A and B are shown apart, each in its own frame.
Chain A
Amino acid sequence: MKEYFRMVAVLTIIAALCGLLLAAVKKGTEKRIEEQFLLNVQGPALKKVLASSTNDFIGDREQITIDGEQKVVFIGKKNGKSWAIAFETMGTGYKGKIGVMVGFNLSQDMISGIGILTHQETPGLGARVSEAVFTDNFKGRAINEAFKVKQDNGIIDAVSGATISSRAVCSAVKKSIALYATIKDKVLGKK
């Protein structure tokens, strides 16, 4: 009986101390991680898809509710006029979700560009969907085009050896096109 008590006590104390240490480390790094995430993940992708905007689009983000779901929409403005919006959608890749930032040109209803935010694809293979060679495939396309890889009779050149990852990006783009009209109305309606 005494032995059991000792086992429980020791494990509890170890776990509590470790938990305490982790809470402290988490608190210390939390802010920096969030900043790093916005800067390194959303930042470069946004700069690409909302290029030529003159405003601070990370600061000018808006929360929009669609079907009860919150979506963060970044709005690019030129001379004070909203010209493009960008938001994130997910596709299921080879090893998990791939987050894709899709930017839309509001006046021409076309994709101004896409950027890959987060993914866990194989480095050197699936991870290459984040390279410009692949993402430029989507740039300047009208939203009613067939966003499928060429193997599926679409218009997108898949990354060789990474068809699953390429398909995931296409499906994320298609999801954002499905949301685009609603979000566009909400963004412009607010003006």
Chain B
Amino acid sequence: MNKTISQEFLKGFWEILPPFKLVLGLCPTLAVTTAVENGIGMGLSTTFVLFFSNVIISSIKNLIPKKVRIASYIVVIATFVVIVELVMKAYFFSISQQLGLFINLIVVNCIILGRAEAFASKNPIYLSAADGLGIGLGFTLSLILISSIREILGKGTFLGMQVMWDSFEPFAFMVSAPGAFVCLGLILGIMNLFPKK
């Protein structure tokens, strides 16, 4: 029943797509998806943290005593989150201003601790790397999907460029917090129309 590296990579795009199939990581999914730029920034930051924390945790899994494993995972994850925060401030200043606190909150993102506990701590490094990358990119695409819907309907723009006609009245509800829930709920509903395997 050993899965191949490509299977581990691809499962993050549909089978266990984080926000929709696992319904995990909802805090960033709901909070930062008011603009596509933020969605991309958040998604790629999470992917970076997920990839490296998976690789590191997988490579030291045999050294960590069982009782302190969660504490060890959190220290590793927090380290990469702070790295993302510093690098983002130094090189992508405007996005880091937009995302603010939500970058730090990646530490407590269930997806990352979940993959560390459920996958990286039981599987070899190369599979953990594929898993982290796949789930991370799946998460990024999910955020881009939600933020596109919200930005286009809520502001009439895509990546800051006007895409709707001139007399288009922005549907401001979509960029507010309740709009995020409605948007997520509709997408979940549509995805549930596809039969589960």
Which residues of the other chain, A, contact B175 by a CB distance below 8 angstroms? Answer: 123-125
Question: Residue among A7, A127, A161 with the most chain B CB within 10 A?
Answer: A7
Interface check B122, CB cutoff 8 A: no
- Whether A33 contacts B89 in the complex (CB less than 8 A), given A22-B83, A123-B35, A124-B35, comes out as yes
Interface check B29, CB cutoff 8 A: no
A57 to chain B minimum Cβ distance, whole angstroms, is 20
> Which among A13-21, A75-83, A180-188 touches the partner chain?
A13-21
Q: How many residues of A contact B (CB 8 A)?
A: 28
Which residues of the other chain, B, contact A22 by a CB distance below 8 angstroms? Answer: 79, 82-83
A4-41 CB mask vs B (1 if < 8 Å, else 0) is 00110011001100100110011001001100110011
Asked whether B93 lies within 8 Å of A36 as measured between CB atoms, the reply is yes
Interface check A3, CB cutoff 8 A: yes
Interface residues of A in 81-117 (CB under 8 A from B): 95
The number of residue pairs between A and B whose CB atoms lie closer than 8 Å in the complex comes to 74
Bound Cα distance from A133 to B7, whole angstroms: 51
Asked whether A32 lies within 8 Å of B91 as measured between CB atoms, the reply is yes
Asked whether A40 lies within 8 Å of B94 as measured between CB atoms, the reply is yes
Which residues of the other chain, B, contact A7 by a CB distance below 8 angstroms? Answer: 65, 67-68
- Whether A123 contacts B76 in the complex (CB less than 8 A), given A25-B87, A36-B90, comes out as no
Which residues of the other chain, A, contact B79 by a CB distance below 8 angstroms? Answer: 18, 21-22
Asked whether A14 lies within 8 Å of B89 as measured between CB atoms, the reply is no
Interface check A120, CB cutoff 8 A: yes
Q: Is the interface of A mostly helix, strand, loop or mixed?
A: helix
Asked whether B90 lies within 8 Å of A29 as measured between CB atoms, the reply is yes
Asked whether A124 lies within 8 Å of B34 as measured between CB atoms, the reply is yes
18 additional A-B residue pairs with CB within 8 Å, beyond A10-B65, A25-B83:
A10-B64, A10-B72, A11-B71, A11-B72, A14-B60, A14-B76, A18-B78, A21-B83, A29-B89, A32-B91, A33-B86, A33-B89, A41-B97, A95-B101, A120-B101, A123-B34, A123-B38, A124-B176
What are 28 A-to-B residue pairs whose CB atoms are below 8 Å? A3-B65, A3-B67, A7-B65, A7-B67, A7-B68, A10-B65, A10-B68, A10-B72, A11-B71, A11-B75, A18-B79, A22-B79, A22-B82, A25-B87, A29-B87, A29-B89, A32-B91, A33-B86, A36-B89, A40-B93, A123-B32, A123-B34, A123-B35, A123-B38, A124-B34, A124-B155, A125-B175, A125-B176
